[in-house]
Amino acid sequence: MREYFSNIWTSLATIAIGMKVTFKHMFVPAVTIQYPDVRPELPERERNRLYVNMDDCIGCDQCSRACPVSCIEIETVKGLPTDDIGKTSNGKKKALWVTKFNIDFAKCCYCQLCVFPCPTECIYMTDVYEFSEFERKSLVYDFVTLTPEEREQKKLNYQKYEAEKAAEKAAVKKPVTPPVTEVKPKIENPPSTETQGENKVS
């Protein structure tokens, strides 16, 4: 019986100690952040998800070559003389259509090495760090603003232009003239050997 009341006292004392700690923190300002309603302030040099401003991208492939894990894939098509591809924000005229600009964030190690070689500063790190997905393929981001139909059309237009150019070169090319052979004059009445001998004796 004594042990029974002892256990009750121990349990009540334990609860009191726990409640004492709880009541103590009720009157102290909170140090935790109520995420996701409140988000932490990130430092100035944070490295999170990349973003590409396609209006400034010239398709130079510098960022792809600088990437140590090859998570950036770029494909370009030359623009036709009649195409108006546009200009970058610093006034540089574009010469290439960017038909593919994919970044696989499942591979990206957020090293920021792709940012520095860009001549137009169109690729940069953002403060977005919440982009988890259920499927890995959803982490491949396509930044190209052209529709799939427009991309194919740009490729076909350039192929057609190249074919027409090659046909024009073949038409302008001069025909090869055959080599001129030297024709020796024929002797109608060659002197006979007897006549030649008589002439020598005389």
- The Cα-based distances of 151 to 25, 40, 75, 77, 162 in angstroms read 61, 40, 10, 9, 17
Structural domain containing residue 57: 50-151
Please give the model's pTM, rounded to 2 decimal places. 0.67
Asked if residue 67 belongs to a domain, the reply is: yes
Would residue 5 count as lying in a domain? no
Residue in this structure with the two tokens 């232009």, named with its chain if needed: 161
β pairing state of 50-52 and 123-125: antiparallel
pLDDT digits (tens, 9 = 90+) for 55-81: 999 999 999 999 999 999 999 999 998
Instruction: Give the amino acid at 102.
Output: N
| Contact assessment for residue 50 and residue 103, using Cβ atoms and an 8 Å cutoff | yes
Structural domains in the chain (count): 1
d(CA 49, CA 129): 6
Residue 42 lies in a domain: no
**What CATH number did the domain enclosing 109 receive?**
3.30.70.3270
Q: What digits encode the pLDDT tens for the residues 11-52? A: 899 999 888 888 887 777 777 888 888 888 888 888 999 999
